[in-house]
Structure 1
């Protein structure tokens, strides 16, 4: 980490006022952004500060992935030889077998490879939701090691579930508690923790009570799947006789630091429970399409003041793909061109930053004085003019596919000229491929 001046940059700030500064310079002091201005003026005042030439690239805030599963990295290329007609069957035949096949080393390398791919796509903050039933105790420490090695900002949790028996649920609760307590005493500026849960339909009242109490004792937010498929909402009525949101409101699990993913089948009567508690709902459009669970009622949620963010759910390391997908899926679903543009802007330009700033207690996710220096430079040559009015359209339809050349996190250069600094990618990928073969073999043997 060192003070720096990034110059010859087209700066997209994501701020409401002055969102675009073509051909300007950015002054960074330590971990934070100091000012935007003319290169001649800044360089004159700080003659000894390190220079970084953006080469007329586009300088943006680092991207934020608000919900993903790094343990799914080794699923890419895995052949599934059975028909999977429903979402519950996908869980049973793919994801719940894959996570049971993971060892300690698998957890580390699937995380490290996934993080490296995220960096290469301009992601500087990852909110992960982890599961490895055969390696629970210490699993979040292993995940944390991968984040620390790559110097990426991360929020970690372990998903508690009853699907692996009472002992598995208890171990998951303990792992969340242990890691939350560890971060209370250890100074980890780039790491935070939430209390992870799987989903309502895999959590008994008894387990949910224990999770709620343990999380409240640590003053934690919670991170879990909510109404991704109809099975979640139907199970709540069939097993407990109440709408799904009541299971969580009764236990005060919704709160300003809590994150729920998907909400595809969340009934409208549940919206106030999220809006009133300022709980974050994370949209994962490509995963929802891939699993054929439906389309999140994003516009209705938005109109009802639910705080919305964006994740990939492990489908891709590139959150920019998901940014592009928001207006596409909403336009297709509502049969109205451009239906999702307004909510896309709110999510990308405002809410992603607000979520991470709240979790870390710092200003993160915008290019403005006082914000943490989480930055990326895109090699984007626009075919049409870019200005303060149309930059978001360029972000969706052009920058979403452009190459990331430079990444800085918390004032530290992580990638420059397309090369990750201090990371042996070849060795990591080679070992990852070796481990993936073993994971696939174990996967095939599981019932």
Structure 2
């Protein structure tokens, strides 16, 4: 049993939002009480104290859309033009994913999950691609997540861009991994059915995906109308917009993750809303790829569940929160938006999405929730209270301010040091094999 205390507790629980000198009591994988540090210390006198050193005690953060493999592109010299999103895909990402071996995949998982943990992230939903190393790729990633102790959901992105055989292999990889995760019967690992995007899958492939999912009760994880090419392709080839086309194959349902949804109209927004599916906003990636600004604010106003992800751009969810706050102010020319919506996406909607995927309560500090906790090194220089804590998070805290990360009751990082992980040797190996991967990209 642990008491995480001697800090300011931000619970993200409306019934008990903030405790000035608070603590969280953990027993095995569950939170059993949240309250005053002194009181809980007396009540649970035998518990081990995890000292927050006057820092901020928060729920572990959740990333609802990540590309683990993209970490190996960091610092890589890109050959070819990247003047628009199509060229970014063809000259960067589709070259990178074709160059990945199973070892590359494994070490990109190590470094991404480790960086996530060091930013206070305890749950990651990933969308994977490796056309030359499909079979067994998701299980390889899952074993890394299990070793490091982080909660994760995985899928393989089915695409026709490398041929029918590769698309069918991707379908099989999704199905086999979903079965693998089901056998684990754990709220630490889940599988989804991944598809790249409308413009890289034919009707025939979508029909195969639909058939493969007939007796499987999980959601799809797919990019939707991210770039204008996706919309143009759907209209030119099929005479309909992206959401309408995908909806005809049963893609959108309550546990589906529809990523981006930038180039959509009101009719499509209604389809998404009525399906009960989850939309993921990735502000930094959208800005970096110059694909446009998501109508995330409008979608929230219409009642859609819009979560926050990073799309591989970063592992720092607080950074993504900050950008989501200012992007929509800039886009809508309205300084009043973002304050409520950005924290809503990260702290409320992300946990609802995880509950659908994993069947457990996380992203909140209250009795009965999973023991997923992050401590941040932040001592406020103005008053912090139950009415302004999100402002302190946005303007005062950063992901790298995480000092301790706990997932499922297990300490993954303490005092900024990963527990039982030889981080130095893993990073050295990652630099070596990523350098070899870069050479294969250049060929």
Same fold (TM over 0.5): yes
User: What TM-score does the superposition give when structure 2 sets the normalisation length?
Assistant: 0.98
Partner of 1:63: 61
- Runs of 5+ unmatched residues, structure 1: none
8 Å CA contact 2:286–2:292 kept in 1: the answer is yes
Q: Aligned equivalents of 1:81 and 1:172: distance in 2?
A: 27
Partner of 2:153: 155
Q: Secondary structure at the match of 1:159?
A: coil
Q: Aligned equivalents of 1:288 and 1:434: distance in 2?
A: 30
8 Å CA contact 1:364–1:374 kept in 2: the answer is yes
Q: Aligned equivalents of 2:264 and 2:359: distance in 1?
A: 30
Q: Aligned equivalents of 2:359 and 2:70: distance in 1?
A: 29
The C-alpha deviation readout for 1:99-119, integer Å capped at 9, x for no partner, is: 000001000000110110111
Q: Which moved more, 1:29-38 or 1:131-140?
A: 29-38
Partner of 2:275: 277
Q: Secondary structure at the match of 2:213?
A: helix
Q: Secondary structure at the match of 1:216?
A: coil
Offset of residue 16 of structure 1: 1.8
Q: Aligned equivalents of 2:47 and 2:398: distance in 1?
A: 32
1:383-394 map, 5 Å:
383-394=381-392
8 Å CA contact 2:63–2:309 kept in 1: the answer is yes
The C-alpha deviation readout for 1:291-340, integer Å capped at 9, x for no partner, is: 01110011211122121000000001111110001111001111111322
Offset of residue 401 of structure 1: 5.5
1:23-422 map, 5 Å:
23-400=21-398, 403-422=401-420
Offset of residue 225 of structure 1: 0.3
The C-alpha deviation readout for 1:330-385, integer Å capped at 9, x for no partner, is: 01111111322222132123111111112111111100111001000000021211
Offset of residue 178 of structure 1: 0.5
Q: Aligned equivalents of 1:200 and 1:228: distance in 2?
A: 10
Q: Aligned equivalents of 2:207 and 2:257: distance in 1?
A: 18
- Runs of 5+ unmatched residues, structure 2: none
Q: Secondary structure at the match of 2:214?
A: helix
Q: Aligned equivalents of 2:175 and 2:93: distance in 1?
A: 24
Offset of residue 402 of structure 1: 5.6
The C-alpha deviation readout for 1:156-190, integer Å capped at 9, x for no partner, is: 00000000000000000000001111222223331
The C-alpha deviation readout for 1:224-247, integer Å capped at 9, x for no partner, is: 100000111111111111121122
Q: Aligned equivalents of 2:37 and 2:14: distance in 1?
A: 23
Q: Aligned equivalents of 1:38 and 1:180: distance in 2?
A: 42
Q: Secondary structure at the match of 1:95?
A: helix
User: What TM-score does the superposition give when structure 1 sets the normalisation length?
Assistant: 0.97
Q: Aligned equivalents of 2:297 and 2:20: distance in 1?
A: 33
The C-alpha deviation readout for 1:261-290, integer Å capped at 9, x for no partner, is: 111112221011111111111000000111
Q: Aligned equivalents of 2:112 and 2:24: distance in 1?
A: 30
The C-alpha deviation readout for 1:26-62, integer Å capped at 9, x for no partner, is: 2111111111122333222222111111111100000
> Aligned-residue CA RMSD in angstroms?
1.1
Q: Which moved more, 1:82-91 or 1:35-44?
A: 35-44
The C-alpha deviation readout for 1:191-235, integer Å capped at 9, x for no partner, is: 011000000000000000111221232122000100000111111
Q: Aligned equivalents of 1:37 and 1:339: distance in 2?
A: 33
